[in-house]
Amino acid sequence: MRAARVIIATLCALTICACTPLPEKTADGRSEEHDIASATTAPSLPPRPREVRLDGLDPCEVLPEEQRLLLSLDHPPNPYVESGFGNAKACTMRSGISGNVARLALVTAEGVGVWLDENAQVDARPTTVGGFPGLIVRTPGMDQVCNVEVDVAEGQFLDVMFRDGGNETKATQETLCLGAQRVAEAAIAALLQRG
């Protein structure tokens, strides 16, 4: 009788072990559970040196004409409303020289942290723009555009998008990101001069 109980207990233990799934191994031999535990969290941005409020500003007037010309944005700016950012005021500027297009959007409905949320599904890397914390944002599958997001005030950010305007020879995404960074730097300098 005692032997039967031992056999039943052993069979139950073996059944429980057999029914418990083992963590799956990844290509490098580590278990999936380890990957979840060691997953990195979104980077946090350093504090702003000060607040630069965007309320009531015209995005087409942020960059004076002479700054736009220095950036080769020689076509007249075109204002519009960007519904994707809570109806943010936006402005596009085209370069007749490079064919590239810059867009400034003054986002006042949410903070730059929206780009760090896992639902954003973008590659957002920290940067600094004119002393302000920012992000260089690349969207997977969209190689002809790059964004630079600048944390200018609580619940507000400057969105600078730089894209290929349909050139015969496509600009690399690295070139577009450098363009976005240059436009963002100029825009922050102009905003700081306003006081």
Whether residue 158 contacts residue 172, with contact meaning beta carbons closer than 8 Å, is answered with: no
| For residue 4, pLDDT beyond 70 | no
Residues 50-103 have pLDDT tens digits of 999 999 999 999 999 999 999 999 999 999 999 989 999 999 999 998 889 999
Kindly provide the b/e burial profile for residues 46-82, where b requires at least 16 CB atoms within 10 angstroms of the residue's own CB.
Answer: eebeeebebeebebbebbeeeebeebbbeeebeeeeb
pLDDT value at residue 170: 85
Pairing of strands 78-82, 132-138: unpaired
Residues 6-31 have pLDDT tens digits of 334 443 444 444 444 444 444 444 44
- The pTM assigned to this predicted structure is 0.77
Q: Which of 135, 132, 130, 131 is nearest to 116 (CA)?
A: 135
